[in-house]
Amino acid sequence: MDELGLNVSVPSLRVDSLDRDIIRLIARGGQRVLTIAPESSERLRRALGKGFSDDDIVRVAMDAVSVGIDHLKLYFMVGLPGEGDDDVKSVINLLSRLKRLGIKYSLSVNPWIPKPHTPLQWLPMANDEIINDRIKELKKTHRRTWSSRHTTYLMQRFRHYYRSAIGILVT
């Protein structure tokens, strides 16, 4: 990349796939923002079989800063099955920890949508009140928060109609 003068950009990456060498390569490719998806609290990540902790997220953030990546973009979901107020507080604690370490970040917070062909596909989405309350809680603590409830609703409707259309096409 260096010899050719090329910059490389990578999409959102799994926290548990990143080590210092990979982060260094990403930075050498010219990327200054690292996007990861912590998704929720450590407790819910563990319940969903995700292989990383809050400490892993902090390690990745510190490694990124040490090689010149100056900003993190973090993707979170609210309204996951089994999510409680303590999970939102846990996310806020993680973000506060990053802030105390001087890590610059922005958040993308969106409602969880049940995806087909996953163990949670038949579970309902959380209601609007729960989703809006959790997003508000995150916004109170961290100004750089955005969410797209309307886009999520459209995606859910599209998924529903897509599944219906597949049934028609297959028969």
Per domain, the residue ranges of the chain are: 15-170
In 6-154, the DSSP E strands lie at 33-39, 71-78, 105-111, 145-146
- Copy the structure tokens of residue 116: 């087909």
The per-residue pLDDT for range 28-53, each reduced to its tens digit, is 999 999 999 999 999 999 999 998 99
State the pLDDT at residue 6.
73
Strands (E) across 81-163 are located at 105-111, 145-146
pLDDT value for 9: 84
Instruction: Please say if the pLDDT value at position 11 is more than 50.
Output: yes
The yes-or-no verdict on residue 150 having pLDDT over 60 is no
pLDDT at residue 169 above 50? no
* Identity of residue 37: A
CATH 3.10.350.10 fits 15-170, yes or no: no
110 by DSSP, 3-state: which?
Answer: strand
The predicted model gives 129-158 an average pLDDT of 70
Tell me the C-alpha distance between 99 and 88, whole Å: 17
Residue 64 CA to residue 167 CA, distance in Å, equals: 46
Lookup: tokens for 61: 């953030």
pLDDT of residue 89 exceeding 70: yes
Q: What is the mean pLDDT of the chain?
A: 85
Of the candidates 134, 127, 33, which has an alpha carbon nearest to the alpha carbon of residue 77? 134
Q: How far apart are CA 72 and CA 60, in angstroms?
A: 10
Q: Find the range with the poorest average confidence among 44-58, 59-73, 153-167.
A: 153-167
**Is the pLDDT confidence value at 128 over 70?**
yes
Least confident of 11-15, 133-137, 149-153: 149-153
Residue 58 has pLDDT above 50, yes or no: yes
The pLDDT of residue 160 is 53
* pLDDT higher than threshold 80 for residue 170: no
One-letter identity of residue 21:
D
> What single-letter DSSP state applies at residue 122?
T
Q: What is the pLDDT of residue 171?
A: 41
